[in-house]
């Protein structure tokens, strides 16, 4: 049986400020076998890891990520909003996360934040970076922008992709094949055991998000999902160990 991937959502984001190296390193220490993160582009074309298109919530700065150079973003504090112990944490580059995980076997789920802000060339640059680290086999690219996912497959037919969606997607395994996606990154309430089985029969796997309840984790493990995205990788690691999966 293939082990279920324990994806730490934005790193160990219940214990550390999201999408920081502290969160990624903590995730590995807590037993994560996968890391989920969000990528955007700076004004000077750098691939920076941050969820919101705006900077206010996690750095206190005004404006949009796209309007800052990486040098300018590097001067921001992305940690103290979470706690004083993390003051001075920086917004990392995708390169830093891939360097951390390249030798660990960790699966990296890179979400393209290519909806509110249409970053031209984001798909190409992300895939080129993944190739540079020789991590094609360790990466799955996801997005709510399914045009972006189709573009990824046109750039590299072998790169794994996952469709992000909330609910109400009819026969998602059929839809996934229209954009040649490999996985369904469905909202946690949009997953049922019979759908997991049907998707598997079509060669498509489920990686539901964001699952923080132990009871929901257990139900999804029993349903046969291939991965679970959670803020609590330590809790999920304990359940997986107890169930021997």
Average pLDDT of the segment spanning 133-146: 98
> pLDDT tens, 15-39?
999 999 999 999 999 999 999 999 9
Catalytic center residues: 9, 51
Structural domain range at position 106: 5-243
Q: What is the pLDDT averaged over residues 34-48? A: 98
pLDDT at 169: 96
Torsion angle, alpha carbons of 198, 201, 207, 211, to 10: 40
Per-residue pLDDT tens over the stretch 148-166: 999 999 999 999 999 999 9
Number of domains in the chain: 1
Percent of all residues in the chain with a pLDDT value above 70, rounded to a whole number: 100
Query: What is the reported pLDDT for 244?
Result: 85
Nearest alpha-carbon partner for 66 in 112, 118, 19, 20: 118
pLDDT in tens, 90-132: 999 999 999 999 999 999 999 999 999 999 999 999 999 999 9
pLDDT of residue 180: 98
pLDDT band at 11, cuts 50/70/90?
A: very high
Grade residue 1 by pLDDT with cuts at 50, 70 and 90: low
Mean pLDDT of the chain: 97
pLDDT band at residue 2 under the 50/70/90 scheme: confident
pLDDT in tens, 197-230: 999 999 999 999 999 999 999 999 999 999 999 9
* CATH code: domain of residue 42: 3.20.20.190
Give me the pLDDT at residue 149, please: 98
Tens-place pLDDT, residues 169-184: 999 999 999 999 999 9
Q: How far, in Å, are 37, 73, 78, 100, 161 from residue 82 at the CA level?
A: 17, 18, 8, 22, 31
Confidence category of residue 245, pLDDT binned at 50, 70, 90:
confident
**Helices 21-29/94-101 angle, 10° precision:** 20
- The pTM (predicted TM-score) of the whole model is 0.98
With a CB cutoff of 8 Å and minimum separation 6, the contacts of 85 are: none
């Amino acid at each position: 049986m293939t082990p279920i991937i324990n994806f730490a959502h934005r790193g160990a984001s219940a214990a550390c400020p999201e999408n920081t190296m502290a969160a990624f390193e903590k995730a590995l220490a807590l037993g994560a076998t996968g890391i989920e993160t969000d990528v955007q582009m700076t004004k000077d074309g750098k691939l920076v890891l941050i969820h919101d298109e705006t900077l206010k919530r996690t750095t206190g700065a005004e404006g949009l990520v796209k309007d800052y150079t990486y040098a300018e973003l590097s001067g921001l504090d992305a940690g103290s909003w979470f706690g004083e112990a993390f003051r001075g944490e920086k917004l990392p580059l995708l390169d830093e996360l891939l360097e951390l995980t390249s030798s660990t076997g960790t699966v990296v789920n890179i979400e393209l934040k290519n909806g509110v802000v249409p970053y031209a060339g984001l798909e190409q640059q992300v895939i080129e970076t993944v190739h540079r680290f020789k991590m094609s086999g360790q990466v799955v690219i996801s997005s709510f922008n399914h045009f972006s996912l189709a573009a990824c497959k046109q750039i590299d037919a072998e790169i794994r992709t996952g469709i992000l969606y909330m609910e109400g997607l009819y026969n998602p395994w059929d839809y996934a094949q229209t954009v040649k996606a490999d996985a369904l990154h469905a909202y946690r309430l949009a997953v049922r055991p019979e759908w997991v089985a049907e998707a598997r029969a079509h060669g498509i796997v489920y990686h539901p998000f964001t699952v923080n309840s132990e009871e929901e984790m257990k139900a999804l493990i029993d349903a046969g999902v291939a991965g679970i995205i959670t803020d609590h990788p330590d809790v999920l690691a304990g359940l997986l160990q107890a169930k021997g999966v």
